[in-house]
Structure 1
Amino acid sequence: MATYGYARVSTTDQDLTTQVEKLTQAGCTIVREEKMSGTTREGRKELDTLLAFLHPGDVLMVTKIDRLARSVGDLQDIVKAIRAKGAALKATDQSVDTSTAAGKAFLDMLGVFAEFETNLRKERQMDGIAKAKKAGVYKGGKTRIDRETVIQMKVEGHGPSAIAKALGVSRMQIHRILTQA
Structure 2
Amino acid sequence: MLVGYARVSTQEQETHAQTDALQAAGVGFIFSEKRSGGSTSKRPALEEMLTKIGPGDTVVVYKLDRIARSLKDLLIIIERIEAAGAQFRSLTEHIDTRSPAGRMIFQIVGAFAEFERELIRERTKVGMAAAARRGVKMGRPTAMSEEDEAEAMRLWFTGQHTKSSLARRYGTHISSIKRAIKRYHARIQPDLLNAA
Does the aligned pair in 2 maintain the 1:20–1:31 contact within 8 Å?
A: yes
Q: 2-side partners of 1:95 and 1:84: how far apart?
A: 22
1:30-109 to 2 correspondences below 5 Å = 30-109=29-108
Percent identical: 38
| Residue 111 of structure 2: aligned partner | 112
Letter of the aligned partner of 2:76 in structure 1? D
Letter of the aligned partner of 1:124 in structure 2? R
Q: What's the TM-score once normalised by structure 2's chain length?
A: 0.68
Give structure 2 stretches of 5+ with no counterpart: 144-152, 157-173, 176-185, 190-196
The alpha-carbon deviation at position 67 of structure 1 amounts to 1.5
| Residue 155 of structure 1: aligned partner | none
List structure 1 runs of 4+ shifted beyond 6 angstroms. 141-144
Q: 2-side partners of 1:101 and 1:87: how far apart?
A: 15
Q: 1-side partners of 2:4 and 2:138: how far apart?
A: 43
1:11 aligned counterpart, secondary structure = coil
1:55 aligned counterpart, secondary structure = coil
Q: 1-side partners of 2:72 and 2:28: how far apart?
A: 28
The alpha-carbon deviation at position 39 of structure 1 amounts to 4.9
Q: 1-side partners of 2:9 and 2:138: how far apart?
A: 26
2:6 aligned counterpart, secondary structure = strand
Structure with the higher helix share, 1 or 2: 2
Q: 2-side partners of 1:112 and 1:96: how far apart?
A: 14
1:84-163 to 2 correspondences below 5 Å = 84-138=83-137
Q: CA RMSD in A?
A: 2.9
Q: Which has the higher contact order (CA 8 A, sep 6+)?
A: 1
Q: 1-side partners of 2:114 and 2:63: how far apart?
A: 14
Rg (Cα) greater in structure? 2
Q: 1-side partners of 2:73 and 2:36: how far apart?
A: 12
| Residue 26 of structure 1: aligned partner | 25
Residues 100-123 of structure 1: CA distance to partner in whole angstroms, max 9, x if unpaired? 221111000111111112111111
1:138 aligned counterpart, secondary structure = coil
Give structure 1 stretches of 5+ with no counterpart: 150-166, 169-179
Aligned residue pair count: 154
Letter of the aligned partner of 1:108 in structure 2? Q
Q: 2-side partners of 1:141 and 1:131: how far apart?
A: 18
The alpha-carbon deviation at position 28 of structure 1 amounts to 1.3
Cα 1:42–1:110 change in 2 (3 A) is farther
